[in-house]
A and B are shown apart, each in its own frame.
Chain A
Amino acid sequence: YSFFPGKPRWPKRKRDLTYAFVPQNNLTDEVKRVFARAFTRWSEVTPFNFTRSESLVGADIVIGFFSGEHGDGEPFDGAMGTLAHASSPPTGMLHLDSDEDWLISDGGISRRILPVTSVVDLESVVVHEIGHLLGLGHSSVEDAIMFPAISGGDRKVELAKDDIEGIQHLYGGNPNGDGGGEKKSSRQSETSGGGS
């Protein structure tokens, strides 16, 4: 595993992070559930809680799908190529390429979904980018989530040992231990309005 230069991380007082979607994407709840699942994978092994906010104002993390040049100096490049990018802590920006064909999987395990396709598994990319948002850089371990590349048709969503060791080097483990089902639901909450 690796880190951004200077090992930036979220300050100790920030373990309950909120995230919001840019409204102009008009994402369906089905798509938003993919992000909730991806955040849960990281909250299970860290002290973080992630809560969705309907309001961008005050959200710690802002998520959006953009095409080409979108104002951050790192333009996307059409189908395939670069899929997404994310900022280091505590900036909280997650951008995905809206020119990609995204597959909303059913939440299943990591596997090869299709032999040859340009369709990319959304959850696999989101789990990776959340790793950056929390402070991880890329890893050479091929089954690690933080390995930089993924083939269309592949799904890789479970955190590998390398990912967990890296993120716990920054923040320690999940104080609730196993992060099991019931805890998962209490840890992964979604606000109905701008309550957060």
Chain B
Amino acid sequence: KFYTNVSSIPPLQFLNATQNAWETFSKLAGCHIGEKIDGLSKLKRYFHRFGYISAAAVDNCTDDFDDVLQSAIDTYQKNFNLKVTGKLDSSTLRQIVKPRCGNPDMIDGVSEMNGGRKLRTTER
């Protein structure tokens, strides 16, 4: 559907914002390594989609909050300028559920997305 101006957007639309496919991730808030939570395998497939987890690691992924997931969260938090906690804190989940481009942030496990800043950090 195309809306040609803001006033043509029906009120119903204001509610759809909470009906996107990734909204379910919000219930994972506060999870951390060692826990087993229903829905973490879906989140691992999200991270695989955007290049943070390899195909091999996601093939038989479980609902365990393991090292693979923690590493993916670390890198994601770096790429999106979030505090690197390795946990599913609220600011990280808020970013995860936002609509986005389908192109991956990382290809073949390499992320240049924050590359420049990382390089400068290394030099310093």
Contacts and interface: CB of A to CB of B under 8 A. Distances in A.
Nearest to B100: A149
A80 B99 CA distance: 5
Contact of B17 (A5, A104, A116, A125): A116
Interface in B1-28: 1-6, 9, 13-14, 16-17, 19-22
Given A83-B101, A83-B102, A150-B100, A140 B114 contact: yes
Scoring A3, A113, A122, A137 by chain B CB atoms within 10 A of each residue's CB, the highest score goes to: A137
A80 B20 contact: yes
B108 interface: yes
B95 interface: yes
A85 B101 contact: yes
Contacts of A171: none
Chain A CB count within 10 A is highest, among B22, B107, B108, for B107
B115 to A, nearest CB: 6
Interface residues of B, number: 39
A140 B19 contact: no
A83 B100 contact: yes
B101 A129 contact: yes
Interface of A: 1-5, 28, 30-31, 74, 76-86, 100-104, 106, 113-114, 116-120, 122, 125, 128-129, 132, 137-140, 142, 148-152
Given A2-B115, A81-B20, A140-B117, 20 more contacts: A2-B112, A2-B113, A4-B107, A5-B108, A100-B99, A101-B16, A102-B1, A104-B4, A114-B9, A118-B16, A125-B101, A138-B103, A138-B105, A140-B79, A140-B114, A148-B50, A148-B113, A149-B99, A150-B98, A152-B17
Interface of B: 1-6, 9, 13-14, 16-17, 19-22, 49-50, 78-81, 95, 98-103, 105, 107-108, 110-117
